[in-house]
Amino acid sequence: MSLFERLERLNQVCRGWMNNYRLTNIYAKVKKLDEWLRNRLRYCIWHDWKKLERKRKNLIQLGIEIGQAYAWSRTRMGGWAVAQSPILKTTITVSRLKRKGYKPLLDYINNTQTSIW
């Protein structure tokens, strides 16, 4: 599944769930879930890169210096640990994910709660 398809499906599901729970006060839980979703998307991106050279090239394109990109592309850490690492959190930021089509859950809450009252 491509990143675009994944984000499209995720946005559909999130919109439905947020509309379902729009009358409840779940702001803190949604904030944690939103953080987990971003980490999961970073994991999927890291996993899609698969090969070491592709990881290195993509990290360089995202603005990491060559030596650091080389080291992180060959790390023995698992994909989930890398997704939560500072290297991916600073390169695959929320703004980059938004440009690709990700809509944070907090945006759904803010939109649905203002439209009700």
Distance CA 44, CA 27 (A): 25
Residue 115 clears pLDDT 90, i.e. is over it: no
- pLDDT, averaged across the chain: 89
Identify which has the larger pLDDT, 22 or 101. Answer: 101
Q: What does the pLDDT read at residue 22?
A: 72
Residue 31 clears pLDDT 60, i.e. is over it: yes
Distance CA 47, CA 1 (A): 12
Structure token digits, residue 104: 């944070």
Distance CA 112, CA 94 (A): 21
Q: What is the pLDDT of residues 92-109, one digit of tens each?
A: 999 999 999 999 988 877
Using pLDDT thresholds of 50, 70 and 90, give the confidence band for residue 71: very high
Phi and psi for 75 in degrees, rounded to 5? -65, 150
